[in-house]
Amino acid sequence: MEKSLKEKCMKLLYASSAFLGIAVVVVITIFLLSMGLPSMFEIGFFKFLFGTKWNPVNNEFGILPMIVNTIIVTAFSGLIGVTIGRFTAIFICYFVRPKLKKILMQLVQLLAGIPSVLFGFFGVQVLVPLFSALSSSGVGYGVMTSSIILGIMILPTVISISVTSLENADPLHIEGALALGASREQSIFKVAVPSAKTGLMSAAILGIGRAVGETMAIVMVSGNIPDFATSFFQGIRTLTGNIVLEMSYAEGLHEGALVATGVVLFVMILCVTVGLNVYKTKSGKIKKGKSIVIDKCVGTGNPQYVLSRSKEKAMKGFSLGCTSMTMISLVGIVLFILVMGVPHLSFDFVFGSFEYGGAITLLPSIVTTLMLIGLTVLMSVPIGVMTAIFLCEYTKNDSKFVKIVRMSIETLAGIPSIIFGLFGMMFFCELIGMGYSIMAGALTLTLMNLPTIIRTTEQAILEVPQSLREASYALGVGKTTTIFRIVLPSAMGGILNGVILSIGRIVSESAVVLFTVGSTKSMPTSPMSSGISLAVYMYILAGEGLHVNEAYGAAVVLLAIVFIINLASNFTKKFAQRKNIKI
């Protein structure tokens, strides 16, 4: 009886953690709508959405130029990032040796861990002067610079998901095509790639979703002028940039209009998420009812399906070119930061004592960042792990509750950081009364990092052999004990990997921290103290234009932390492989 009661209590605890994901999405949605819609209707619904003037001084709040600019930049960045990312994934998956493939994928992971502030800083220091010299207007900010930076930023998402999808494609498709006389290039581009189209489309949609929600890098390179883009080299402003630029001093209707801007952005992201789920569902039904007929593609000699020899070489060469551009982008950004930043590093700059108005030092920002990491991990890991346990060990995949939980997790994963920042500022800082504080930032980052913890833990638990559980149950061991003594230790590599990935996101996050923790440059004394993270400090140093050398030095420190996190992630993967767990 006691054993049964214990099992029921633990199941209730796991279910409560899973329910939290649903509750967070509902609360964020209700809170944003309740704060944004009244202002939207006070301004005028159509006047707000289709107005062309944004001038808070005259109570003019039209966001149509920013909606159009967001769509334009997203479209061009998607064209760049999705195209290069997809062909890079094809080259990595099919045209390189296994050892080189591992090296290239590790470089892609390093690119994924680079904070958006570093991309923006690179854009300001390299691309903006370059395009200023090339453009007839002498302006380097605008659509072109923003699209290139965003295109590079979404490359890791597109590449990693595309590679996974291509690896999961049935190898018999290629073997069958080769047996029917097709060349290797024909087999890859006309059979393997089409068979993985669902995963490739998912990679494209998720990459575009990230482009829509990007904030800090766009603020640094767009020019931030709230007008329609009439050329590639003209200052523009996006929806995310509009929020982060003016929220710090907005009041009354102005503040409500910015929140309403967040509502519009939130709806756009929800549309992307729902569209992805609908596409996956339809593609799944098509796959169940219709298989790929290889001889249709290569066996009949139909010119619609057969590549000429020149086209084969062109496609392979284009894939090599895209891979080269990806790696050059990564190496170029890293080398630029190191060359410009290392000479400005010193012990006093990194670890010196700080007094307000004195010399610049990174120590307070490092301490703030470490406190954010500790508090966020302490809160997010137990909730995320318990949710994953509930989904893997106590539910069936076809249950309605599980579908709702998974939908909520996917929605949380797709919400832009600026939306989390808005919610954290209004809910934790203002409504709860925490003010700008490290605790408010940690709570907001906890909500933002839950999907990462849940997904990686769930994957690791699913990879634990079912035979281990059955052996434990056969010996009379209860479910709870089996989970804690058998399942979780076996899945520890995947869990640690999820924790490290979330730490990387905490280190690189700037919009959420700026809105909830603040930008106080003094040393924090408690979790309720305000502070400034390393990423935010670098953003401020770069934006001021007075401390560019110090910004380079901060960029090197930030890059070093990202590199250490990547090494730790690789170590946990090797640890998991020793446990015979595939992450």
pLDDT tens string 447-468: 988 888 888 888 788 878 888 8
Q: Tell me the pLDDT tens digit for each residue of 417-435.
A: 888 998 999 899 988 999 9
- For residue 300, pLDDT over 50 is answered with no
DSSP-derived 3-state class of residue 180: coil
Q: Rounded to 10 degrees, what is the CA torsion of 483, 489, 494, 495?
A: 70
Element (H, E) at 60: strand 60-61
Q: Which pLDDT band holds residue 544 (cuts at 50, 70, 90)?
A: low
Distance CA 4, CA 23 (A): 28
Selected residue with higher pLDDT from 406 and 340 = 340
Distance CA 502, CA 510 (A): 14
pTM over 0.85: no
> Which tokens hold the place of 160?
């990693």
Selected residue with higher pLDDT from 269 and 526 = 526
DSSP-derived 3-state class of residue 343: helix
- For residue 291, pLDDT over 70 is answered with no
Distance CA 488, CA 502 (A): 19
Partners of 60 in beta bridges: 55
DSSP 8-state class, residue 394: S
- For residue 312, pLDDT over 70 is answered with yes
Of 382, 364, 396, the residue nearest 453 (C-alpha): 382
Q: Tell me the pLDDT tens digit for each residue of 329-345.
A: 888 888 988 998 899 88
φ/ψ bin of 300: left (φ > 0), alpha (ψ from -120 to 50), beta (otherwise):
alpha
Is 45-334 in the same CATH topology as 1-43+346-583? yes
Q: Tell me the pLDDT tens digit for each residue of 68-93.
A: 999 999 899 989 999 999 999 999 98
Which single residue is written with the structure tokens 């070119």?
321
Q: What is the mean pLDDT of residues 143-152?
A: 92
Q: Tell me the pLDDT tens digit for each residue of 485-534.
A: 888 888 887 788 778 878 878 888 888 999 999 888 888 989 999 999 98
May I ask the CATH class of domain 45-334?
mainly alpha
CA-angle at 364, arms to 362 and 366, nearest 5°: 65
Distance CA 547, CA 187 (A): 54
Selected residue with higher pLDDT from 215 and 356 = 215
- Written in H, E and C, the secondary structure of 95-109 is CCCHHHHHHHHHHHH
Q: What is the CA radius of gyration of the chain?
A: 25
Domain ranges of the chain: 1-43+346-583, 45-334
pLDDT (0 to 100) of residue 1: 45
Q: Which pLDDT band holds residue 283 (cuts at 50, 70, 90)?
A: low
pLDDT (0 to 100) of residue 284: 55
Partners of 223 in beta bridges: 236
Q: Which amino acid is at 347?
A: F
Percent of the chain with pLDDT over 70: 87
DSSP-derived 3-state class of residue 196: coil
Of 22, 26, 11, the residue nearest 392 (C-alpha): 11
> Which tokens hold the place of 231?
């050329």
- For residue 582, pLDDT over 70 is answered with no
Average pLDDT, the chain: 82
Q: Which pLDDT band holds residue 356 (cuts at 50, 70, 90)?
A: very low
pLDDT (0 to 100) of residue 578: 59
Which single residue is written with the structure tokens 């001084």?
57
Q: Which pLDDT band holds residue 293 (cuts at 50, 70, 90)?
A: very low
Statement: 1-43+346-583 belongs to CATH 1.10.3720.10: yes
pLDDT (0 to 100) of residue 583: 38
Q: Which pLDDT band holds residue 292 (cuts at 50, 70, 90)?
A: very low
pLDDT (0 to 100) of residue 299: 47
Percent of the chain with pLDDT over 90: 18
Distance CA 405, CA 99 (A): 38
**Neighbouring C-alpha atoms within 13 Å toward the C-beta of 215:** 26
Among 67-76, 134-143, 395-404, the range scoring the smallest mean pLDDT is 395-404
Which single residue is written with the structure tokens 């007839």?
136
> Which tokens hold the place of 102?
């591992």
